[in-house]
Structure 1
Amino acid sequence: MKNEKGFTLIEMMIVMLIISVLLIITIPNITKHNSSINDKGCQAFVKMVQAQEQSFEMENKRVPTGVDELVKAGYLREDAKGCPNGKTDVTIASDGTVTAVAKTTTP
C-alpha cells in the first residue's frame, strides 16, 4: 500500500470544533460592546463640535446659530452633522453649549 499523508476526518472535525468554540466565545463580546463604542464615539464627536464652536466664536465674536453654520463656514465637513451612530443629532444652544439629542423620526 501507498503511504499517503494527510489529515483524517476526525482531525479535521476536531479543528472545526475548536474554531467554532472560539467564534462562539468572541462574537457575543463584540456585539455587547458595540453600543458602548457608539456612545463613546458620539461623546467624542460632541467634544469636537464644541471645540469648533469655540473657534468660530473666537473668530467671529458671536455664537453660531447651529451646526449648519459651522459647516458653511468650513469648521465641519458636510457629512458631520450628527453622531457616527446615525441616531443622534448635535445642536448648539444660544449660549454656545453643544448637546447631542436623539433624532426625531417623521412618519
Structure 2
Amino acid sequence: MTNQKGFTLIEMLIVLLVISVLLIITIPNLTQHNESVREKGCEALTVTTQAQVESYYLENNSFPTVTELLNGGYIKTSTCPNGDTINVDTQTGVVSSQTPPAP
C-alpha cells in the first residue's frame, strides 16, 4: 500500500486558501452593485408600464391610473425593486417612478 493516490493536507489547505481569496474579492463587488441592479430594475419596470399604458389607451381610448392597470392585469406590481412607486399621468400617459416619502 505504498502507492496511494490522493491529496495531501497541504494541497487541500492551498485550495481552500485560493477559494477564500476569490470569495473575499468577489463578495464586496456584488454588494456594491446591488443598488445599481435595483435602479436598472426600476427603469425596466417603468418602460414596461409605459408600454402597458399605450396598450390600455388603444383598447379604452383613455389613459389609465395605476389601479386600473393593476386591476386589468396589465401590470402585476406598482412598486420598483428599489422601493420607488410607479405613477401614471392620466392626462398625458407618461409613466414615472417616485421615491415614497420617508415615515
Q: Which amino acid aligns with 1:44?
A: A
User: 85, 88, 99: which one pairs with 1:89?
Assistant: 85
CA apart distance, 1:41: 0.9
Aligned equivalents of 2:5, 2:73: Cα separation in 1: 66
What is the count of residue pairs matched by the alignment? Answer: 101
AA in 2 matched with 1:51 = A
Query: 1:105: Cα distance to partner?
Result: 4.4
- 1:28-107, aligned counterparts within 5 Å? 28-64=28-64, 66-77=65-76, 80-85=77-82, 87-94=83-90, 95-106=92-103
- For structure 1, the residue ranges without an aligned partner over 5 or more in a row are none
5+ residue gaps, structure 2: none
Greater shift, 5-14 or 29-38, is seen at: 5-14
The two structures, once aligned, show a CA RMSD in angstroms of 1.5
Q: Which runs of structure 1 show a deviation greater than 6 angstroms over 4 or more consecutive aligned residues?
A: none
Structure-1-length-normalised TM-score? 0.83
SS in 2 for 1:16: helix
Instruction: State the identity as a percent.
Output: 47
Match of 1:21 in 2: 21
The letter of the residue matching 2:42 is C
- Between the aligned partners of 1:59 and 1:12, the Cα distance in structure 2 is 65
